[in-house]
Amino acid sequence: MKKIILLPLLLFSITLFGQNIVEIHYRHVPSEHIAEFEDKEMRIWSKVKQNAIDNGDMLATAFFRIADAGVVEDETIPTHAFVLVYKDFKQLANSSNIWSSAEKVLGMNPNYISTNEISKTMMIQRFKLIDEILPLREFKYAVWNYSKPKNFGGFVNENLKLWKPYFEKKIGQKGLAGWGILARVYPQGMNESSIVSYDHYTSLEAAMQALSPMDFDPSILAKSKMSEYDPEGFRYRVLLELLQFQGSVN
């Protein structure tokens, strides 16, 4: 339970436009290899990540399984996601130190227990924190909402002034445990979302209910200008289950 309680620390900093950098690695793992993949990552490779945290090379990391992993066999769809949190860009730039020490930490050639042969890295995304809801609370599921607003400033401003207070009042209701928003750093381009907001939930039922298009209060929607700022709406929404968390963010 302690690890789950600490997880909300994963994607956040205390100050607006804080320095924390979030790197997300999406992987696809065939269904026949999922059990082996998860076991190696949580039992073995977690030691390398913990060593990085202990040595000040990284703040925190979390390992997620995406909904329907092992059920949908489409190789173009990720099944898992790793979230790595760094204090700032300097720490991110030096992140190669984490993996170069793997043999020393594990006491063996890391190629012998690599998960690269049973998984495929689909994409790597890097973000900078914009804001969050405090205090941080326990959650077990997360929904990531990808957007590419037409009006970036208007979109962010409304999230901070309208949606953040709305979610703050809802914390503890219907399984809602947290909310936050990140700005994409890299890659950037025509096909890339520029913003990710995230909601945290204590149960799968609560997360699925939140994904329902009929779930929002009409009174809050009447105050929103999202149809102007982001007329296409969320480009992609991801439901994830926490498998493992390590570290914390001060």
Q: Count of CB atoms within 10 A of residue 86's CB?
A: 22
Residue 214 pLDDT grade (very low, low, confident, very high; cuts 50, 70, 90): low
How does residue 15 score in pLDDT terms, banded at 50, 70 and 90? very low
Q: What is the per-residue pLDDT across 153-178, written as a single tens digit (0 to 9) for each?
A: 999 999 999 999 999 999 999 999 99
Interstrand relation of 176-186 and 120-132 (parallel, antiparallel or unpaired) = antiparallel
Indicate which CATH number applies to the domain containing 76: 3.30.70.100
- Let me know: does 165 contact 120? Beta carbons within 8 Å: no
- 9 band by pLDDT with thresholds 50, 70 and 90: very low
- Count of structural domains, the chain: 1
Mean pLDDT of the chain: 88
Spatial separation of the C-alpha atoms in residues 18 and 180, rounded to whole Å: 12
Question: What is the structure's pLDDT at 106?
Answer: 93
> In this predicted structure, what is the pLDDT of residue 170?
93
Q: Is the pLDDT of residue 250 over 50?
A: no
**What would the pLDDT profile of 91-104 be if each residue is shown by its tens digit?**
999 999 899 999 99
139-161 burial, b at 16+ Cβ within 10 Å, e below that, comes to bbbbbbbbbbbeeeeebbebbee
The predicted-structure confidence for 113-163, as pLDDT tens digits, reads as follows: 999 999 999 999 999 989 988 777 888 999 999 999 999 999 999 999 999
pTM for this prediction: 0.86
pLDDT tops 50 at residue 12: no
Q: Domain range for residue 121?
A: 2-247
